[in-house]
Amino acid sequence: MDIPLEVRGLTKLYGTRRGIVDASFDVGPGEIVGLLGPNGCGKSTTLHCITDYHSPTSGEALIAGIPHHRPSAKDRLGFLPDDLPLPESLSGRELLMLHAHLRPSLQLDTGYELLEVFDLMDHLDRYVGDYSHGMKRKLQLVLALAHRPKLLVLDEPLRGLDPEAAILTNTVISSFAGSDCGVLIATHDLAAAETTCDSVVIVNQGGVVARGAPADLKREHDAASLEEVFLTLTGIRSGLSAKLRRLALTLDINHPLVLGGTS
């Protein structure tokens, strides 16, 4: 069975600036992997190289065993970007048909079933520009899944979704992974990553600083939560502690502030 995603020594440099350096990790069949890191750490660069928006300086990403830049690899990839705008002058139906024309592997029956699940069928003939943010996100997910890819790459998939849509999205993602496909999720939601992901890759300052199952990382770092592991490995904990001390002085708070609340 092909491995949905293999990243080997992936490096992207922007002049002298590091985007990502020597990143290596896999997303196996049936596996949900979280890509975690602070803003500007290299997460987006990694996603853009995997999805061929950028060409890596060195290294490679294989999608179901195929180099990521080949057209046949793109047929095996579904991508939900964080902020890519949709063509607002098209209706939802026109956009679905456009994708079916551009991607012959897209299965319209699957697309319509997903549209029904996400309560979008009654809105198909409305302009996409009239959709709410949540409706646009759901439509993007339908377009990413309708050709039944081997690898699904999601950038903040739950952003802007109401609770019902978020639950449905998580269920769809889990069902997708359950069909021996792989899922890579970039997210800032550490609590969700701990409960949803089989393993996580933590990136900081352009490099991978940890990877493994959340339970293994917590045990390795003697931490109660994935958030604690993340704060320690990214160096955020020390910076936040200093800010909390300053905040206490500024607000004249006479008890110590601690991460996540007060004591």
The whole-number pLDDT of residue 258 equals 62
**251 in a domain, yes or no?**
no
pLDDT in tens, 206-241: 999 999 999 999 999 999 999 999 999 998 877 777
Q: Which of 164, 230, 165 is nearest to 197 (CA)?
A: 230
**249 in a domain, yes or no?**
no
Pairing of strands 207-212, 199-204: antiparallel
Dist. CA 244–CA 247, nearest whole Å = 5
pLDDT in tens, 6-64: 999 999 999 999 999 999 999 999 999 999 999 999 999 999 999 999 999 999 999 99
Mean pLDDT of all residues in the chain?
Answer: 92
**218 in a domain, yes or no?**
no
**120 in a domain, yes or no?**
no
pLDDT beyond 60 at 261: no
**140 in a domain, yes or no?**
no
**190 in a domain, yes or no?**
yes
- Residue 146 Cα distances to 53, 114, 161, 177, angstroms: 21, 8, 20, 15
Dist. CA 115–CA 226, nearest whole Å = 34
Residue 67: give the domain boundaries: 5-82+148-212
First to last CA, the chain: 52
The whole-number pLDDT of residue 262 equals 41
Largest CA distance in the chain: 65
**257 in a domain, yes or no?**
no
CATH number at residue 192: 3.40.50.300
* Total residue count of the chain as it appears in this document: 263
Q: How many domains does the chain have?
A: 1
Which whole number is the average pLDDT over 70-75?
A: 93
The whole-number pLDDT of residue 114 equals 95
**202 in a domain, yes or no?**
yes
Dist. CA 218–CA 216, nearest whole Å = 5
Q: What share of the chain has pLDDT > 70, as a percent?
A: 96
The whole-number pLDDT of residue 85 equals 79
